[in-house]
Amino acid sequence: MSGFQALYRRELRAYFSSALAPLFLVIFLVLTAAFGFWFGGFFERNQADLSPFFIFHPWLYLILVPAVSMRLWAEERHTGSIELLLTLPIHTHTAVIAKFLAAWTFIALTLALTFPCWLTVNYLGHPDNGAVLAAYLGSLVLAGSYLAIGSALSANTQSQVIAFISTVIVCLLLLLAGQPIVLDVCRAWLPSLLVDAISALSLLSHFQAIQKGVLDLRDLLYFALTIGVWLWATTVLINHQQAD
């Protein structure tokens, strides 16, 4: 366990000792505020809730989370430090989980720094704080899913640019899977069972359910499974890549 802790701490510290942390924090906070208050029509709605703020998260994360996840393994492979890490007495899956959790913690901290938005709605009215909390949770697990996908795709390359772009594409596909634009195309030539399956894979519909304040176990299970499967894929990819 101490190996896990040591790696987790190292990774978390690495975010803050590079220019990434301040840059990411500022961009994330500016964009969430800008999208929520201006484009989301926060004031025009005359409703004391944070929907306009959360509704853009899937799209913001689409660019911001891959920027965090791209370095997870691609950088280790590029500098060769992966050889050091994986000859220390820790398992590959331990390293995968420690690195993932450190990145997730970093994003959770960023998300926590949006608390002034929450204070603002509480000052302006009486929001359903339970729903707000559920939406924060939804946002966090969505970011975790993107990160897990990014982790696997980062393990697949030495290039952080490739890791970034491939993560954006895969996340976008999974986001849109449940949208009419995708489903209508699929319906034309796929059996309805498969169409339903594709629709159930959609990150967006599961996020929207939670974001509305409905905490369904199935949605949470979906995100837990997504994270688990992609982290497992990361471990497999890393072990496989050392072989050739």
Contact positions vs another protein (CB under 8 A)? 2-3, 5-7, 9-10, 13-14, 17-18, 79-81, 83-84, 86-91, 242-244
Which residues have CB under 8 Å from 230's CB, separation 6+? 145, 148, 149, 151, 152
| Residue 7 CB burial class (10 angstroms; 0-12, 13-18, ≥19) | buried
Q: CB-wise, 21 or 220, nearer to another protein?
A: 21
CB of 161 vs another protein, minimal distance in Å? 18
CB of 155 vs another protein, minimal distance in Å? 15
CB of 85 vs another protein, minimal distance in Å? 8
Backbone phi and psi for residue 237, each to the nearest 5 degrees, phi listed first: -60, -45
Q: CB-wise, 45 or 240, nearer to another protein?
A: 240
Residue 235 tokens, joined: 């471990």
CB of 67 vs another protein, minimal distance in Å? 17
Q: CB-wise, 96 or 132, nearer to another protein?
A: 96
Q: CB-wise, 5 or 129, nearer to another protein?
A: 5
Q: How far is CA 105 from CA 16, 52, 152, 182, 185, in A?
A: 12, 24, 18, 33, 38
